[in-house]
Amino acid sequence: MPPFPSGAAWARGLLSWARPERWLASGSLFPLSCIHSSTSLQKIGKWEKKNRIVYPPQLPGEPRRPAEIYHCRREIKYSKDKMWYLAKLIKGMSIDQALAQLEFSDKKGAKVIKEVLLEAQEMAVRKHNVEFKSNLHIAESQTGRGRYVKRLRCHGKGMFGMMKISRCHYFVKLVEGPPPPPEPPRTGFDQAKEYVQQLRNRTLVHTL
């Protein structure tokens, strides 16, 4: 039997639940701003919600936190694997370089990603307090699988196959500041150093 407040306590609990959170000072019943109702969008994705986080104000001595802008486009009519190559191309570039590369790429997804980047750049300048629109670099760029639809594909001799019409999402995170320098490739010397360090870290376990 779950814990159940009996009789009057239950009625009071019910009433307090039924009564809305806040009443306005005038006492009349307005549409309540505290209840969030999603009207047009079915579900707001996680990437879109990342733009809504608000950090507490920084202390005077802290270094300035660089602005982060999250933007995405959903249900692009393109394959996620093919889109991934473009996303991998522009990862870590400055926004100007990325736009230049995408402008002269022959792929269909390049045009879409270019539009997304331009939208994100404009959002950054308007809403996210970015001073210079060129002072942005691409920190993350990812693709995701959209909703697939199965269709019949006709072959000869009355044969049919099922094909899937694939769509993808594209996510990008712009961060203010110059792009980080690329990592130097791992040389054999580094690997040897790490190996020697691992050997030196060995110790006796379960002993005094």
- Class of residue 91 by CB neighbours under 10 A (exposed 0-12, middle 13-18, buried 19+): middle
79 is a site residue for another protein (CB under 8 A): no
* Burial of 171 (C-beta count, 10 Å sphere; 0-12/13-18/19+): buried
Decide: is 157 part of the binding site for another protein (CB under 8 A): yes
Count the residues of the shown chain that bind another protein, applying the rule CB under 8 A: 16
* Binding residue (CB under 8 A) for another protein from 88, 111, 133, 193: 88
What is the closest distance, in whole angstroms, from the C-beta atom of residue 128 to another protein in the complex?
26
Least CB distance to another protein at residue 104 (A): 6
Closest approach of another protein to the CB of residue 89, in Å: 5
Q: How far apart are CA 132 and CA 177, in angstroms?
A: 9
Q: Does 7 bind another protein (CB under 8 A)?
A: no
By the 8 A CB rule, do 176 and 135 touch? yes
Binding to another protein by residue 52, rule CB under 8 A? Answer: no
The yes or no reply on residue 104 touching another protein (CB under 8 A) is: yes
DSSP 3-state assignment of 149? strand
Question: In this structure, are residues 55 and 82 in contact, taking their beta carbons and an 8 Å threshold?
Answer: no
Tell me how far, at minimum, the Cβ of 84 lies from another protein, in Å.
8
Q: Which stretch binds another protein (CB under 8 A): 99-107, 128-136, 183-191, 195-203?
A: 99-107
What is the 3-state secondary structure of 36-71?
CCCCCCCCCCHHHHHHHCCCCCCCCCCCCCCCEEEE
Q: Give the interface with another protein as residue ranges (CB under 8 A).
A: 81, 85-86, 88-89, 100-101, 103-105, 107, 152, 157-160
